[in-house]
Amino acid sequence: MRAFQLVQAQKPPELREVPVPDPGPGQVLVKVGGAGACHSDLHLMEAPAERLPKLPFTIGHENAGWVEKLGPGATGFASGDPVMVYGPWGCGICASCRVGMENYCENSGGLGGGGLAGPDGGMAPYMLVPAARFLIPLGTLDPRQAAPLSDAGLTSYHAVKRSVHLLGAGSTAVVIGVGGLGQMAIQMVRALSAATTVVAVDTDAGKLETAKRMGADEVLLSGEEAVTRIKDMTGQQGAQLVLDMVGIDPTLRMAAQVARVLGHLTIVGLGGGALPVNFSSPPHECSVASPYWGSLPELMEVITLAQQQKIKMLVEHFPLERANEAYQLLHDGKIQGRAVITP
Ligand code: NAD
Ligand code: ZN
């Protein structure tokens, strides 16, 4: 089969011929329906060799498909079942893994998962999943449509859910950067909380239009005027929750300016910026967190929300041969929701 692989650091991935894997004990072979193109892959492609796992490996950490073949001893699924693949693969037995937070496995160095940390991911017709517990039944959802829920959906869900207690009636949530993840974050605030106002901030007017359709009340172009507007909207207090889905110096600075005392400033974007910190900025007792992905039970909840049609992902499909083009479009800000590769 042909797989879209990162072969050399800082070089575009290549389509290469690789064998179809045979599932060993406990493993499951999944026929990939869709593999989302996440901005994290772009960070990965731009990273120097010393920050990368062993090359080559197949890109794609946002995957859904159908069970193709169960390895000896793997149970719980039958061939043909539509499934979501949970991305961060932990050891399964440490304290974090035992509560389903395999994203914070104590033994995988904090970065498990196929397509991101070395094991082959989903941009190939078939993908080997190490254990059946990483598969979640999709029910009536189409894997080609649902794939981005496993990261864009799950990461946004987790980032919002941990702050829901702050989002009572009358509260404000700000989402900075409304691409693949940010559009989901807006919907998660709507689905999970009583927040009165959701503000979307982006540098791209088209993304802001989409954000409105996804439930944002107010959309603002990134910059000083957005800060002033958010302060005015909140009686100069700032927002209870600020999600920075970009994570570069200017957005982190903005996030600190628009968060409120006792609020949450949550950094999801891996832009590599630094948050300036002094005694009164971020505001007093505003907690700062940088969550990574989400838990297995949370992914089940995200799938339930999608089944109930409370969240939707804008998806644009690309065949495997056009994967590099999809990433170029993502890099140029030309993907409105999520590009999904359909191998
Ligand atoms: P994306 O390219 O789809 O969206 C990024 C958005 O940010 C775009 O709409 C872009 O116009 C906007 N943007 C860029 N500069 C901006 C600025 N100065 N102000 C406001 N908006 C700006 O990317 P994505 O796939 O949604 O990923 C977003 C970020 O989240 C990436 O850095 C990615 O690596 C990271 N990520 C983190 C996790 C995690 O677990 N923490 C998981 C997945 C992705
Ligand atoms: Zn573990």
Check whether residue 143 and residue 15 sit in a common domain. yes
In this structure, are 230 and 322 located in the same domain? Answer: no
Check whether residue 322 and residue 201 sit in a common domain. no
Say if residue 41 is in the same domain as residue 129: yes
- Are 184 and 243 within one domain? yes
* pLDDT number for residue 109: 64
Over its C-alpha atoms, the chain yields an Rg (Å, rounded) of 20
Tell how far the Cα of 27 is from the centroid of ligand 1, in angstroms: 33
Buried b (16+ CB within 10 A) or exposed e, 249-279: eebbbbbbbbbbeebbbbbbbbbebebeeee
Residues 277 and 83: their CA atoms lie apart, in Å, by 43
CATH of residue 201: 3.40.50.720
pLDDT given at position 272: 96
- What pLDDT is stored for residue 115 in this prediction? 80
Q: Please tell me the predicted confidence (pLDDT) of residue 111.
A: 58
pLDDT confidence of residue 176: 98
Structural domains in the chain (count): 2
Report field, pTM of the whole predicted structure over 0.95: yes
The Cα 242–Cα 255 span in angstroms is 6
Q: Which domain holds residue 191?
A: 155-289
In ligand 1, the atom with minimum distance to the C-alpha of 294 is: 40
Answer yes or no: do 172 and 129 share one domain: no
104 and 184 share a domain?
A: no
Q: Residues lining ligand 1, judged by CB closer than 6 Å?
A: 38-40, 43, 151, 155, 176-182, 201-204, 207, 222, 245-247, 250-251, 268-271, 291-293, 330, 333
- Of 289, 307, 322, the residue at which a domain comes to its end is 289
* Structure ipTM: 0.99
Ligand 1: which of 39, 59, 328 to mutate, most ligand atoms within 8 Å of CB? 39
Q: Whose CA is nearest to atom 13 of ligand 1?
A: 177
Helices 180-192 and 152-161, interaxial angle, to 10°?
40
Q: Are residues 207 and 310 both part of a single domain?
A: no
Reading the chain (343 residues) residue by residue, the pLDDT tens digits are 999 999 999 999 999 999 999 999 999 999 999 999 999 999 999 999 998 888 999 999 999 999 999 999 999 999 999 999 999 999 999 999 999 999 999 998 655 678 887 799 999 999 999 999 999 999 999 999 999 999 999 999 999 999 999 999 999 999 999 999 999 999 999 999 998 899 999 999 999 999 999 999 999 999 999 999 999 999 999 999 999 999 999 999 999 999 999 999 999 999 999 999 999 999 999 999 999 999 999 999 999 999 999 999 999 999 999 999 999 999 999 999 999 999 9
Q: How crowded is residue 83: how many other Cβ atoms within 10 Å of its Cβ?
A: 24
